[in-house]
Amino acid sequence: MLRKSPARAEDARWGTPADLLVIGLGNPGEQYAGSRHNVGLEVLEALARRHHVALRKAKELATVAEVRLGVKRMALAFPTTYYNDAGAAVRQLWRRHGILTPEALVVVHDELDLPPGKIRLKRGGGLAGNNGLKSIQAHLHHADFLRVRVGIGKPPGRGVDWVLGRPSKADRVELDVAVERAADAVEKILEDGVDAAMVIYNRDDL
Protein backbone atom coordinates (compact mmCIF):
# COMPACT_ATOMS: atom_id res chain seq x y z
CA MET A 1 0.00 0.00 0.00
CA LEU A 2 1.38 3.40 -0.96
CA ARG A 3 2.01 5.81 1.87
CA LYS A 4 0.91 9.39 1.47
CA SER A 5 3.23 12.20 2.46
CA PRO A 6 2.40 14.24 5.57
CA ALA A 7 -0.31 16.77 4.79
CA ARG A 8 0.32 20.44 5.52
CA ALA A 9 -1.68 23.48 4.54
CA GLU A 10 1.17 24.95 2.51
CA ASP A 11 1.46 21.72 0.50
CA ALA A 12 -2.12 21.78 -0.81
CA ARG A 13 -2.20 20.35 -4.32
CA TRP A 14 -3.75 22.64 -6.89
CA GLY A 15 -2.98 21.13 -10.28
CA THR A 16 -4.61 18.44 -12.37
CA PRO A 17 -3.17 15.19 -10.95
CA ALA A 18 -0.51 13.44 -13.03
CA ASP A 19 -0.11 9.68 -12.79
CA LEU A 20 3.65 10.19 -12.72
CA LEU A 21 5.95 13.18 -12.28
CA VAL A 22 9.41 12.48 -13.71
CA ILE A 23 12.30 14.70 -12.63
CA GLY A 24 15.55 14.61 -14.61
CA LEU A 25 18.46 16.00 -12.60
CA GLY A 26 21.21 18.05 -14.20
CA ASN A 27 22.58 21.56 -14.60
CA PRO A 28 21.29 24.17 -17.05
CA GLY A 29 23.59 25.79 -19.59
CA GLU A 30 25.62 24.71 -22.59
CA GLN A 31 28.77 24.30 -20.51
CA TYR A 32 27.16 21.32 -18.73
CA ALA A 33 25.62 19.65 -21.79
CA GLY A 34 26.89 16.12 -22.21
CA SER A 35 28.42 15.95 -18.73
CA ARG A 36 28.01 12.89 -16.53
CA HIS A 37 25.92 14.92 -14.09
CA ASN A 38 23.35 15.61 -16.83
CA VAL A 39 22.33 12.07 -17.73
CA GLY A 40 19.07 12.57 -15.82
CA LEU A 41 18.22 15.44 -18.15
CA GLU A 42 19.22 13.30 -21.14
CA VAL A 43 16.68 10.64 -20.11
CA LEU A 44 14.02 13.34 -19.85
CA GLU A 45 14.89 14.65 -23.31
CA ALA A 46 14.74 11.11 -24.72
CA LEU A 47 11.22 10.71 -23.34
CA ALA A 48 10.19 14.07 -24.78
CA ARG A 49 11.52 13.10 -28.23
CA ARG A 50 9.68 9.79 -28.18
CA HIS A 51 6.39 11.52 -27.52
CA HIS A 52 7.00 14.51 -29.80
CA VAL A 53 6.82 17.16 -27.10
CA ALA A 54 9.21 19.94 -26.13
CA LEU A 55 10.34 20.96 -22.67
CA ARG A 56 9.17 24.53 -22.12
CA LYS A 57 9.95 27.05 -19.43
CA ALA A 58 7.45 27.08 -16.55
CA LYS A 59 7.06 29.28 -13.49
CA GLU A 60 7.98 26.35 -11.21
CA LEU A 61 11.74 26.91 -11.72
CA ALA A 62 11.80 24.21 -14.38
CA THR A 63 11.23 23.31 -17.99
CA VAL A 64 8.29 20.95 -18.35
CA ALA A 65 6.29 18.87 -20.80
CA GLU A 66 3.34 16.49 -20.53
CA VAL A 67 2.74 13.24 -22.38
CA ARG A 68 0.11 10.52 -22.36
CA LEU A 69 0.52 6.78 -22.61
CA GLY A 70 -2.95 5.46 -23.20
CA VAL A 71 -5.15 6.91 -20.47
CA LYS A 72 -2.22 7.75 -18.19
CA ARG A 73 -0.63 11.18 -17.91
CA MET A 74 3.07 11.76 -17.26
CA ALA A 75 4.67 15.11 -16.47
CA LEU A 76 8.34 15.59 -17.38
CA ALA A 77 10.34 18.27 -15.59
CA PHE A 78 13.93 19.51 -15.51
CA PRO A 79 14.71 21.80 -12.54
CA THR A 80 16.63 24.86 -13.74
CA THR A 81 17.80 25.63 -10.20
CA TYR A 82 21.08 23.76 -10.70
CA TYR A 83 21.52 20.19 -9.53
CA ASN A 84 22.16 20.76 -5.83
CA ASP A 85 19.08 22.97 -5.35
CA ALA A 86 16.61 20.82 -7.29
CA GLY A 87 14.29 20.45 -4.31
CA ALA A 88 13.07 24.03 -4.59
CA ALA A 89 11.63 23.25 -8.02
CA VAL A 90 10.43 19.75 -7.14
CA ARG A 91 8.40 21.08 -4.22
CA GLN A 92 6.51 23.42 -6.57
CA LEU A 93 6.15 20.76 -9.27
CA TRP A 94 4.82 18.26 -6.72
CA ARG A 95 2.02 20.68 -5.91
CA ARG A 96 1.42 21.85 -9.47
CA HIS A 97 0.91 18.32 -10.76
CA GLY A 98 -1.24 17.17 -7.87
CA ILE A 99 1.08 14.37 -6.75
CA LEU A 100 -0.52 12.41 -3.92
CA THR A 101 1.90 9.56 -3.19
CA PRO A 102 5.71 9.27 -3.08
CA GLU A 103 5.70 6.56 -5.74
CA ALA A 104 4.14 8.95 -8.24
CA LEU A 105 7.44 10.85 -8.22
CA VAL A 106 10.42 9.45 -10.15
CA VAL A 107 13.82 11.13 -9.97
CA VAL A 108 16.32 10.17 -12.69
CA HIS A 109 19.94 10.83 -11.76
CA ASP A 110 23.56 9.85 -12.31
CA GLU A 111 25.02 7.23 -9.96
CA LEU A 112 28.69 6.93 -9.02
CA ASP A 113 28.20 3.49 -7.47
CA LEU A 114 27.18 1.89 -10.77
CA PRO A 115 29.47 1.30 -13.76
CA PRO A 116 28.83 3.35 -16.90
CA GLY A 117 25.80 2.07 -18.77
CA LYS A 118 24.16 0.20 -15.89
CA ILE A 119 20.79 1.34 -14.58
CA ARG A 120 18.95 0.41 -11.41
CA LEU A 121 15.53 1.31 -10.05
CA LYS A 122 15.16 2.06 -6.37
CA ARG A 123 12.26 2.78 -4.04
CA GLY A 124 13.18 5.28 -1.33
CA GLY A 125 16.18 4.51 0.88
CA GLY A 126 19.46 6.30 1.40
CA LEU A 127 20.71 9.21 -0.67
CA ALA A 128 24.37 8.09 -1.01
CA GLY A 129 25.67 11.66 -0.67
CA ASN A 130 23.78 12.90 -3.73
CA ASN A 131 23.16 16.60 -3.10
CA GLY A 132 20.29 16.81 -5.58
CA LEU A 133 18.43 14.02 -3.77
CA LYS A 134 19.24 15.63 -0.43
CA SER A 135 17.69 18.88 -1.63
CA ILE A 136 14.53 17.08 -2.74
CA GLN A 137 14.31 15.30 0.61
CA ALA A 138 14.75 18.60 2.45
CA HIS A 139 11.92 20.28 0.54
CA LEU A 140 9.49 17.34 0.51
CA HIS A 141 10.38 16.19 4.05
CA HIS A 142 10.71 12.58 2.94
CA ALA A 143 12.86 10.43 0.66
CA ASP A 144 10.27 7.83 -0.33
CA PHE A 145 10.21 8.78 -4.00
CA LEU A 146 11.37 6.43 -6.75
CA ARG A 147 14.79 6.73 -8.37
CA VAL A 148 16.10 5.64 -11.73
CA ARG A 149 19.87 5.51 -11.25
CA VAL A 150 22.11 5.73 -14.31
CA GLY A 151 25.66 4.56 -13.69
CA ILE A 152 28.58 6.87 -14.51
CA GLY A 153 31.30 4.95 -12.66
CA LYS A 154 33.62 5.96 -9.84
CA PRO A 155 36.07 8.83 -10.37
CA PRO A 156 39.84 8.31 -10.34
CA GLY A 157 40.18 11.68 -8.59
CA ARG A 158 37.89 14.41 -7.26
CA GLY A 159 34.21 13.54 -7.56
CA VAL A 160 33.12 17.03 -8.57
CA ASP A 161 35.53 17.09 -11.52
CA TRP A 162 34.28 13.65 -12.59
CA VAL A 163 30.56 14.37 -12.53
CA LEU A 164 30.92 17.74 -14.25
CA GLY A 165 33.25 16.30 -16.88
CA ARG A 166 32.31 14.55 -20.10
CA PRO A 167 32.66 10.79 -20.45
CA SER A 168 35.16 9.07 -22.71
CA LYS A 169 33.99 7.95 -26.15
CA ALA A 170 33.63 4.36 -24.92
CA ASP A 171 31.64 5.42 -21.84
CA ARG A 172 29.52 7.74 -23.99
CA VAL A 173 28.42 4.79 -26.09
CA GLU A 174 27.42 2.91 -22.90
CA LEU A 175 25.62 5.95 -21.52
CA ASP A 176 23.66 6.52 -24.73
CA VAL A 177 22.29 2.97 -24.47
CA ALA A 178 21.59 3.45 -20.75
CA VAL A 179 19.68 6.68 -21.40
CA GLU A 180 17.28 4.88 -23.74
CA ARG A 181 16.93 1.96 -21.35
CA ALA A 182 16.21 4.34 -18.46
CA ALA A 183 13.52 5.99 -20.60
CA ASP A 184 12.06 2.52 -21.21
CA ALA A 185 12.07 1.92 -17.45
CA VAL A 186 10.19 5.15 -16.75
CA GLU A 187 7.51 4.18 -19.27
CA LYS A 188 7.25 0.74 -17.66
CA ILE A 189 6.77 2.33 -14.23
CA LEU A 190 3.93 4.44 -15.63
CA GLU A 191 2.26 1.55 -17.41
CA ASP A 192 2.70 -1.32 -14.93
CA GLY A 193 4.16 0.02 -11.69
CA VAL A 194 7.62 0.05 -10.15
CA ASP A 195 7.64 -3.61 -9.06
CA ALA A 196 7.08 -4.82 -12.62
CA ALA A 197 9.75 -2.42 -13.87
CA MET A 198 12.26 -3.61 -11.26
CA VAL A 199 11.86 -7.23 -12.39
CA ILE A 200 13.03 -6.20 -15.87
CA TYR A 201 15.54 -3.39 -15.30
CA ASN A 202 17.28 -4.48 -12.08
CA ARG A 203 18.57 -7.70 -13.68
CA ASP A 204 22.32 -8.30 -13.45
CA ASP A 205 22.57 -9.04 -17.17
CA LEU A 206 21.39 -5.55 -18.15
Known catalytic membership, residue 51: no
Are 110 and 152 contacting, i.e. CB atoms less than 8 angstroms apart?
yes
Question: Exposed/middle/buried for 13, CB within 10 Å: 0-12, 13-18, 19+?
Answer: middle
Based on the number of CB atoms within 10 Å of its own CB, is 203 exposed (0-12), middle (13-18) or buried (19 or more)?
Answer: exposed
Of 37, 97, 109, 139, catalytic:
37
Report the alpha-carbon angle 55-58-60, nearest 5: 125
Number of alpha carbons in the 13 Å side-chain half-sphere of residue 174? 18
Contacts of 120 (CB under 8 A, 6+ apart): 111, 114, 148, 149, 151, 201, 202
Other CB atoms closer than 10 Å to residue 133's CB: what's the count?
A: 21
Which of these, 128, 152, 171, lies nearest to 26 by C-alpha position? 152
- Catalytic positions are 37
